[in-house]
């Protein structure tokens, strides 16, 4: 529960932080090596809360904790979700116990596999595709929309060097074969009947 509160707090505060940045953050970074770029990407992934949704939780001795043996591998392929409970009143979304499947008015979103696995992860992605995805909110930069809770609207405010650093880091993590289900996009609400 604590992790959920922290994740929701980050989803709320990141847009505010992005809005408060000045021109300094937009200046190109001068990486002296690939290792320096990867280290910057690791910092951004950890600061940005990517593990909160893309690394499944498991039950530990003190409660839910990230399963780092499946770091950034997304929604576990063998965890079939049941139809989500109906939300009502002020509630907008429900989330699986692994924090990798979310349901709301948009449908059901599953956290994607961000490891460099060639079949189920980002292995076939190019740096350009990744940057375009983060800028446009479109899968692979051109197709379906990214669904909540993915905070691409905030991530798009990172400069190109930071987005490229994130991608460089993701290319270095352990590849994990984990074929995440496709999202279920809800039908748009029916138009109100004319009286």
Is residue 109 within 8 Å of residue 148, measured between CB atoms? yes
Which residues lie across from 138 on neighbouring strands? 145
- What is the predicted pLDDT for the residue at 120? 97
pLDDT at residue 195 in the model: 55
Structure tokens at 157: 């405010």
Nearest alpha-carbon partner for 79 in 110, 119, 116, 104:
110
Comparing CA positions, the residue from 140, 80, 71, 154 lying closest to residue 110 is 80
pLDDT in tens, 125-169: 999 999 999 999 999 999 999 999 999 999 999 999 999 999 999
Q: What pLDDT is stored for residue 13 in this prediction?
A: 47
Helix (H, G, I), strand (E, B) or coil at 85: coil
CA distances from 46 to 72, 139, 160 (A): 11, 22, 18
Q: How confident is the model at residue 12 (pLDDT cuts 50, 70, 90)?
A: very low
42 preceded by a cis bond (ω within 30 of 0): no
Structure confidence at residue 26 (pLDDT): 58
Whole-number Å distance between alpha carbons of 78 and 69 = 15
In angstroms, the CA 170 to CA 114 distance is 7
pTM: 0.81
């Amino acid at each position: 529960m604590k992790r959920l509160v922290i994740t929701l707090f980050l989803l709320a505060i990141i847009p505010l932080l992005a809005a408060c940045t000045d021109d300094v953050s937009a200046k190109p970074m001068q990486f002296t090596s690939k290792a320096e770029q990867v280290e910057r990407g690791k910092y951004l992934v950890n600061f940005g809360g990517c593990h909160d949704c893309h690394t499944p939780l498991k039950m530990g001795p003190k409660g839910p904790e990230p399963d780092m043996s499946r770091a950034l591998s997304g929604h576990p392929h063998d965890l079939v979700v049941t139809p989500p409970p109906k939300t009502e009143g002020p509630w907008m979304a429900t989330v699986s116990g692994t924090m990798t499947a979310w349901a709301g008015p948009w449908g059901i979103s599953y956290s994607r596999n961000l490891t460099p696995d060639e079949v189920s992860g980002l292995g076939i992605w190019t740096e350009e595709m990744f940057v375009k995805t983060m800028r446009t909110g479109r899968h692979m930069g051109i197709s379906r929309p990214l669904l909540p809770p993915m905070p691409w609207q905030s991530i798009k405010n990172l400069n190109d060097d930071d987005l490229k650093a994130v991608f460089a880091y993701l290319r270095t993590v352990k590849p994990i074969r984990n074929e995440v289900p496709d999202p279920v996009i809800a039908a748009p609400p029916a138009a109100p009947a004319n009286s």
